[in-house]
Chain A
Amino acid sequence: MALKKICDQLNLVKQCQKYELSLWQCPQFLFLVMGAVIFFSTLAIYIIGSRYIEEPLLVALMVLLTSAILFIIASIIIRSFERLAETNRMKSEFVNIVSHQLRSPLSNLKWAIELLMSGRISSISEKQAEYFKILKENSVRMGELVSDLLTVSRIEQGKFPLKKEKIYLQDLIEKTIKETEIFAKASNVEIKFNSEDNLPQIIIDPNQIRLVIVNLSENAIRYINKEGRVEISLKKKNDNLYLEVKDNGIGIPKDDQKYIFQKFFRSGNVKKHQTEGSGLGLYIAKSIIEKSGGKIGFYSQEKKGSTFWFTLPIK
Chain B
Amino acid sequence: MAKTILFIEDESALQKTFGEILSQEEYQMISALDGEIGLRMAKEKKPDLILLDLILPKINGFDVLKKLKEENGTKDIPVIVLTNLERIEDVERALELGAKTYLVKTSYSLEEVLEKIKKALDE
Contact = CB atoms under 8 A, between A and B. Distances in A.
Contacts, number: 46
Interface string A98-128: 0010011011101110110010110000000
Contacts of A108: 11, 13-14, 17
Contacts of B105: 103-104, 107
Interface residues of A, number: 20
Interface centre among B17, B105, B106, B111 (most CB of A within 10 A): B106
Contacts of A106: 106
Contacts of B88: 161, 163
Contact of A112 (B13, B24, B89, B106): B13
Interface residues of B, number: 17
A180 interface: no
Give the dominant DSSP class at B's interface: helix
A121 B20 contact: yes
A147 interface: yes
Nearest to B113: A111
- Among all A-B residue pairs, the 10 with the closest Cβ atoms: A107-B105, A108-B13, A114-B110, A103-B84, A143-B106, A111-B110, A111-B17, A112-B17, A107-B106, A115-B17
Contacts of B109: 110-111, 114
Interface of A: 100, 103-104, 106-108, 110-112, 114-115, 118, 120-121, 143, 146-147, 150, 161, 163
B17 A104 contact: no
Contacts of A150: 86
A108 B14 CA distance: 6
B106 A103 contact: yes
A118 B20 contact: no
Given A103-B106, A112-B17, A114-B111, A120 B84 contact: no
